[in-house]
Amino acid sequence: MSHTLAKSARAVTLAALLVSPGCQRAPVAGPAPANVAEQLIGMEKAALDRWIRSDPDGYLAIYARDAGYFDPFTQKRVDGIDALRAQVEPIRSMKPPFTDIRYEMVDPRVQIDGNVAVLSFNLVDYAKPIGSSQETVVARWNSSEVYRRDAGSWKIMHTHWSFMQPQMPPPTPQSVTPATPAAPAAQATSAVSRTELLARDLPPGDFRHVQSVIVTLQPGAVAARHRHDVAVFAYVLEGTVQNQFDGGSVQVHKTGESWWEPPGTVHDVAGNVGSAVARLLIVYVGENGKSPTVPLR
């Protein structure tokens, strides 16, 4: 949903591929023949070329009817082409808050065993935020695509997308705060204050499920574009973040500031624009069974 897919094997001759099934030996697992690797990587890139233009049909055309799908925003596996089609349908009408969208497929590798092949690669999405001439990294992905050959055609039978682990800078002596003794109870209770951050009425619905998470963004990190189907309360624990909702104006939120997103809000931009790590407390309030976050790659 963003989001933006062999040396010993070459010894297998075309004649061997044409031998009748009864005479063939079982294929040995290993690197894919060069022509198969090129075909699958080409299919993946062709689908990605359409995806970054908000056209999911490139992928839908190469999914098997029984395909399964995972990404960081799905609470459970998406099963079957009909469910996949419904999952990506909103992308067609989305207007990305970026221009000059492109991607880089890094270190693609194809392994094959009989009629099953696995394509794995890293993907880096690049774009320019609207109104800016500066290209930025929008998202970094790990991807695994499992292809199956049916009646001579390769189809994706399973997809798994995940975010790449950010590089964490090592701690410096200045960043390590020594522990301090706890204050006596009398001192701890002598300066208690209360600050109201938010008061909202929940929309109609069975809002009985609450989930809270801490989101950490390294300097320059940008979260993939997504939609929330639940109500969201966000509070900036530290750092400075930039947000854009439903194609509106860009907003900047700093430490101690908060915002509210009603169900259905499209989070176009969410990134750390500061020079230090940003940490957010996110509270989801929604109906049981509804995914709090839906990717819109």
In single-letter form, the type of residue at position 21 comes to: P
| Stronger pLDDT, 1 or 202, i.e. the higher one | 202
Domain parsing of the chain, residue ranges = 25-163, 200-295
Of all helices (H) and strands (E), which one includes residue 64? strand 63-70
Q: Would you mind telling me the total number of residues written for the chain in this entry?
A: 297
Q: Return the pLDDT at 127.
A: 86
Close Cβ partners of 232 (under 8 Å, ≥ 6 residues apart): 260, 261, 265, 282, 283, 284, 285, 292
Given CATH 3.10.450.50, say whether it is the number of domain 25-163.
yes
Half-sphere exposure of 266 (CA within 13 A, CB side): 17
Structure pTM? 0.52
Res 14 pLDDT > 80: no
**Hey, what CATH topology would domain 200-295 get?**
Jelly Rolls (2.60.120)
Segment among 52-61, 157-166, 228-237, 264-273 with least mean pLDDT: 157-166
User: Using CB atoms within 10 A of its CB, is residue 142 exposed (0-12), middle (13-18) or buried (19+)?
Assistant: middle
Whether 245 has a pLDDT exceeding 70, the answer reads yes
C-alpha to C-alpha distance for 209 and 37, rounded to whole angstroms: 45
For residue 165, what pLDDT is reported?
64
pLDDT one-digit tens code per residue, 24-36: 344 445 566 779 9
State the pLDDT confidence band at 234, using cuts at 50, 70 and 90.
very high
pLDDT tops 80 at residue 87: yes
**pLDDT (0 to 100) of residue 106:** 95
Contacts of 190 (CB under 8 A, 6+ apart): none
C-alpha to C-alpha distance for 33 and 128, rounded to whole angstroms:
38
User: For 258-275, b where at least 16 C-beta lie within 10 A, e where not — what string?
Assistant: ebebebebbbbbbbbbbe
Query: What local confidence, expressed as pLDDT, does residue 191 receive?
Result: 64
Give tens-digit pLDDT for 89-133: 888 887 777 789 999 999 999 999 999 999 999 999 898 877 778
**What does the alpha-carbon distance between residue 261 and residue 230 come to, in Å, rounded to a whole number?**
8
